Amino acid sequence: MDDTSTLRWILIIAGIALIGGLLLFGNPNKKPKRRKPKQRRKPNRRKPPAADPGDRREPTLEGGEPTDEPSRFEDPDFNRAPPEPPAVEAGQGELPIGDTPADDEPPPPSEPPPDPPEKVVVLYLQARDNRKVAGVELLDAAIKSGMEFGDMDIFHRRVEGQGQPLFSMANLEKPGHFDKGSWPTLETRGMTLFMGLPGPMPALDSWDALVAAARRMADLLHLDVLDQAREPFTRLREGEIREELREFERAQMPEG
């Protein structure tokens, strides 16, 4: 191949390369177009036309069509001051100060509670051999021993004309009282006799009455008499308690 043919091929290849470059990268001498910035629209500052006051309509709560009736706020009676309440005439509907109806008078003061006893003497009556005393038998023996059923659902020995009992008898078992409606079904292991001093009678006289009632109940119901320490109530123990009560009476006597 001569030099002429070689030069021709070089020119053809160079032309192809030039055309391909222009297709890929474009014309380097051509300037790119600049994009114009977007213009912001100015807000419409024009005020809406004023509404005719005669065309204003009040809305309704029911969601219906507005009516042409005037608003209650435009009613001249709405802005008027409220009427004053009628004056109350003297002597009508008024309660004079310091006067109370007769039905509201305070109740008379109740009597003060009695003072607690300074000394309490106790004896116990207990059934033998874990036996239980029937309610009907107990009621009959208590009446025969000079006691009666009364306050706090227990038995009392009373002195005529005196509010304070001479001594009382309660149930040995809890809750300590007797159910007056269940005497036929009542059963108990024993009773408690007690007296508070000073009482309606001298201490020694009250003691003698208590011992007599306890022994009477024990004989009728086949019970054991026990002292305050739950020990057998012997003659010796009876004398000791009697001496204690004698000393108590001496202490109660006024000095002089």
Confidence label for 115 from pLDDT (cuts 50, 70 and 90): confident
- Residue 250 CA to residue 195 CA, distance in Å, equals 18
CB 218 within 8 A of CB 224: yes
Closest CA to 167 of 217, 116, 202, 209: 209
Mean pLDDT of 144-152: 95
State the amino acid at position 44 in one-letter form.
Answer: N
- Residue 216 CA to residue 222 CA, distance in Å, equals 10
Residue 25 has pLDDT above 60, yes or no: no
Name the helix (H) or strand (E) containing 140: helix 135-144
- Residue 225 CA to residue 244 CA, distance in Å, equals 19
The β-bridge partners of 148 are 156
Mean pLDDT of 31-54: 55
Residue 231 has pLDDT above 60, yes or no: yes
- Residue 149 CA to residue 139 CA, distance in Å, equals 8
Please give the domain boundaries of the chain with CATH numbers for all domains: 119-252 (3.30.1400.10)
Closest CA to 180 of 124, 218, 136: 136
What region, left, alpha or beta, does residue 162 occupy, with left being phi > 0 and alpha being psi -120 to 50 degrees? Answer: beta
CB 233 within 8 A of CB 123: yes
pTM score of the predicted model = 0.56
Residues, the chain = 256
All residues at 6 or more sequence positions from 20 whose CB lies less than 8 Å from its CB, including other chains: none
Across the beta sheet with 119-127, the strand order is: 148-149, 155-157, 167-171, 190-197, 119-127, 223-226
Instruction: Measure Cα distances from 215 to 46, 140, 144, 158, 212 in Å.
Output: 120, 15, 12, 18, 5
Residue 129 has pLDDT above 90, yes or no: no
Bigger pLDDT: 37 vs 146: 146
Confidence label for 62 from pLDDT (cuts 50, 70 and 90): very low
What is the chain's mean pLDDT, rounded? 76
What percentage of the chain carries pLDDT values higher than 70? 55
